Amino acid sequence: DTEVTQTPKHLVMGMTNKKSLKCEQHMGHRAMYWYKQKAKKPPELMFVYSYEKLSINESVPSRFSPECPNSSLLNLHLHALQPEDSALYLCASSQGQTSHEQYFGPGTRLTVT
Amino acid sequence: LAKTTQPISMDSYEGQEVNITCSHNNIATNDYITWYQQFPSQGPRFIIQGYKTKVTNEVASLFIPADRKSSTLSLPRVSLSDTAVYYCLVGESGTYKYIFGTGTRLKVLA
């Protein structure tokens, strides 16, 4: 199984809502990532978890809160978002530091109203 | 962290070989070069990775000169389904930090 799944596919939320994005992989990968991608732009790295510990936080605002409950799951908790946070949120996983091959999920299209 | 530069867009015809070049002048000794393909509203898909010289797999070849300041992704005999954005990445050695380049929009014409 070389698939990374993400739910939901689409999400519309108001600026006062709290929602969560979910990501799952069953490839035994020990690194998991969150990226944000705006239209016609490259993906921007947000967070990296390595062995279930937060390894990289690219100065992401605190209204985005990542969580890695176990080695297969990655969540992104959203609270008090702004309209400019509307984007495609991509989850990815990789074997580890020696492999630069990341497997991406299909993304969650988020719209903040 | 090495910054990458790619052409914004390219057009090609079906059946032709396409070469996309990425410049990464500040690449570090232990950095690897990776290429991804992305279709609209999908996540990127790994194509190929290399460190130096030439790497080939079933879908592409990657050429890296000795100074490693650039790399070229070669797609043999493209088809309409190869129309996508192609990203070059340089991976920071010893970390999980990867920065996507601006990407090259390849359009394959019939």
Which chain A residues are within 8 Å of B102, Cβ to Cβ?
A: 42
- Judge whether A80 and A65 are in contact, CB under 8 Å: no
What pLDDT, on a 0 to 100 scale, did the predictor assign at position A73? 97
Is B42 exposed, middle or buried (CB count within 10 Å of its CB: 0-12, 13-18, 19+)? middle
- Averaged pLDDT of chain B: 92
Q: Given CB atoms, is B72 within the 8 Å cutoff of chain A? A: no
What is the DSSP-derived secondary structure letter of residue A84?
Answer: G
What pLDDT, on a 0 to 100 scale, did the predictor assign at position B99? 80
- Judge whether A47 and A87 are in contact, CB under 8 Å: no
What is the DSSP-derived secondary structure letter of residue B92?
Answer: P
Of A63-72, A91-100, B98-107, give the range with the top mean pLDDT: A63-72
Which chain B residue has the Cα nearest residue A4? B43
Q: Which of residues 38-57 of A touch B (CB under 8 A)?
A: 42-45, 48, 50, 55-56
Answer yes or no: is pLDDT of A100 > 80.
Answer: no
pLDDT digits (tens, 9 = 90+) for A25-42: 999 999 999 999 999 999
A44 to A18, A82, B90: CA distances (angstroms): 22, 17, 14
Answer yes or no: is pLDDT of B93 > 90.
Answer: no
Name the minimum distance, in Å, from the CA of A110 to any CA of chain B.
12
What pLDDT, on a 0 to 100 scale, did the predictor assign at position B2? 72
Name the residue with higher pLDDT: A110 or B96: A110
pLDDT digits (tens, 9 = 90+) for B20-54: 999 999 888 888 899 999 999 899 999 999 999 99
